[in-house]
């Protein structure tokens, strides 16, 4: 009897987990060997990282063990770091040896994009993983403690967020809720704390309607946030950031939320990329490699007008399902289906009980939008872990 074909999924983020779950569900027993390779043995909710980063939620709440989601009898999980893909040799090179494949689904996620701005890599902090947000959380607390050692150093209490996209704004929404608690604990006058959001574009939250953006910006301004719009971050040092035409903001904390790029593994493996992303064909395959699907933040899917869809958890999840279906079709020698993205809307949280959202022609803000956010998050938890995971995590996802 012929050996079962090997399907390997790289990455356990939104795209990879969804693909592995779909393969687990749709493949017949023994039809293929499925392996998921991930750096950690847990899956984390990237769209929730702003909470542990600001300290309003525990890092543990933003993750779930991969073995709690996938059936180990149907999907083998390997905790390894992917270093390179060798398409000619049909193998993946990892820190602990090579993994051969017949069909590969690459879902390695994104990395912060710094656009070559000097000093960001060295001095800014990034909301990108559980370890990075644990670090940010402790760093923020430490700034308060340091300030109490030398109260002339008020820049310890200055926070700069570069980029007013969803990551930057959702983080600031949590930070403004966290500051009063930190001030109380450290006996610090809240009036000494400064929070700046520096955004190169003329407005915050690109993609949202102007009235929703106004709502979000007004709300955060009332909570003390200073927006510097239409002003780029030019340079970051250990002392703070230089912005626009030379102004320097002295700050103990600089968070960079200026955007994401694809995984460097794809570039290192010789794929043609744009900012680390592979432009995939309508079936989500890498050009010239019919047996390799690329999905999530490391891929670019073009819309009907030939423009790339922005990366998001929503598109990653849909790509995960589509890539798994096409991988199975490929194995069975059947016809694959082109990927079709159904955009269901976006909700941005602005701290506890506050959010903005646009779903179809409906626009929501305030408490209603915060409930909508809970529903969106709840649907995902249910999808990957059923009622058990939903009940376990839902309180945190509020
Ligand atoms: P983004 O690309 O959406 O936003 C980055 C922002 O940084 C932009 O507004 C850009 O103009 C700004 N910027 C870039 N260079 C700058 C500079 N030099 N100085 C100042 N500002 C600069 O990136 P993001 O917010 O990290 O989001 C990445 C992706 O993840 C997006 O597609 C987003 O939709 C998605 N996301 C979704 C959620 C959610 O659904 N709740 C949460 C977080 C992120």
The pLDDT score that the predictor gives to residue 340 is: 96
What is the percent of the chain with per-residue pLDDT over 90, rounded to a whole number?
92
> 252-301: per-residue pLDDT in tens?
999 999 999 999 999 999 999 999 999 999 999 999 999 999 999 999 99
Degrees to nearest 5, angle at CA 357 with 352 and 362: 140
CA of 289 from ligand 1 middle (Å) equals 30
Ligand 1 atom nearest to 169, measured from its CA: 25
Residue 161 CA to ligand 1 centre (angstroms): 11
Six token digits for residue 226: 């200073």
Taking 50 as the pLDDT cut, the residues of the chain under it are none
Q: What is the set of active-site residues?
A: 170
User: Of all atoms in ligand 1, which is nearest to the CA of residue 257?
Assistant: 26
The CB of 296 under 6 Å from ligand 1? The reply is no
Q: Is the CB of 174 under 6 A from ligand 1?
A: no
CA nearest ligand 1 atom 35, residue: 312
What is the structure's pLDDT at 207?
87
pTM of the full structure = 0.95
Question: Separation of 112 CA from ligand 1 center, angstroms?
Answer: 10
Q: Is 201 in the pocket of ligand 1 (CB under 6 A)?
A: yes
Residue 111 has a pLDDT of: 95
Substitution candidate for ligand 1 out of 112, 165, 311, 350 with most atoms within 8 A of CB: 165
Which residue CA neighbors atom 15 of ligand 1 most closely?
Answer: 258
Summarised one tens digit per residue, pLDDT across range 327-377 is 999 999 999 999 999 999 999 999 999 999 998 889 999 999 999 999 999
Token representation of residue 132 = 């990075």
Task: For residue range 39-56, list pLDDT tens digits in order.
Answer: 999 999 999 999 999 999
Establish whether residue 118 lines the binding site of ligand 1, counting it when its CB lies within 6 angstroms of any ligand atom. no
Q: How far is the CA of 259 from the centre of ligand 1 (A)?
A: 4
Of 48, 160, 163, 345, best ligand 1 pocket probe by most atoms within 8 Å of the beta carbon: 163
pLDDT at position 273 is 96
Residue 351 CB–ligand 1 contact under 6 Å: no
Residue 334: predicted pLDDT: 96
pLDDT, position 1:
63
Question: For residue 361, what pLDDT is reported?
Answer: 85
- Cβ(162) to ligand 1 under 6 A? yes
């Amino acid at each position: 009897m012929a050996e079962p074909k090997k399907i390997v999924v790289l990455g356990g983020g939104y795209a990879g987990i969804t693909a592995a779950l779909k393969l687990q569900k749709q493949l017949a027993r023994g039809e293929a060997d499925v392996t998921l390779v991930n750096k950690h043995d847990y899956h984390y909710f990237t769209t929730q990282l702003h909470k542990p980063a600001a300290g309003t939620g525990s890092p543990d709440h933003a993750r779930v063990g991969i073995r709690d989601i996938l059936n180990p009898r149907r999907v083998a999980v390997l905790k390894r770091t992917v270093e390179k893909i060798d398409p000619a040799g049909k193998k993946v090179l990892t820190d602990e040896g090579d993994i051969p494949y017949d069909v590969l689904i690459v879902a390695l996620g994104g990395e912060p994009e710094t656009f070559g701005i000097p000093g960001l890599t060295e001095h800014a902090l990034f909301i990108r993983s559980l370890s990075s947000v644990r670090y940010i959380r402790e760093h923020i607390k430490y700034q308060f403690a340091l300030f109490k050692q030398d109260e002339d150093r008020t820049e310890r209490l200055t926070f700069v967020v570069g980029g007013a996209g969803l990551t930057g704004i959702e983080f600031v929404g949590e930070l403004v809720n966290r500051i009063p608690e930190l001030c109380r604990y450290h006996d610090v006058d809240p009036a000494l704390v400064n929070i700046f959001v520096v955004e190169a574009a003329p407005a915050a939250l690109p993609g949202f309607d102007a009235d929703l953006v106004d709502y979000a910006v007004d709300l955060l301004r009332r909570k003390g946030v200073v927006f510097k719009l239409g002003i780029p971050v030019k340079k970051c040092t250990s002392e703070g950031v230089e912005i626009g035409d030379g102004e320097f903001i002295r700050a103990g904390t600089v968070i960079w939320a200026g955007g994401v790029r694809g995984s460097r593994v794809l570039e290192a493996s010789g794929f043609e990329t744009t900012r680390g992303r592979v432009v995939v064909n309508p079936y989500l395959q890498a050009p010239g490699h019919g047996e390799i699907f690329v999905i999530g933040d490391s891929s670019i899917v073009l819309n009907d007008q030939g423009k790339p869809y922005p990366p998001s958890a929503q598109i990653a999840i849909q790509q995960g399902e589509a890539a798994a279906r096409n991988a199975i079709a490929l194995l069975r020698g059947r016809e694959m289906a082109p990927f079709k993205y159904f955009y269901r809307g976006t909700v941005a949280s602005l701290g506890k009980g506050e959010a903005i959202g646009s779903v179809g022609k409906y626009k929501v803000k305030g408490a209603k939008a915060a409930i909508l956010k809970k529903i969106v998050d709840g649907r995902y938890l249910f999808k990957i872990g059923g009622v058990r995971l939903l009940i376990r995590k839902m309180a945190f996802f509020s």
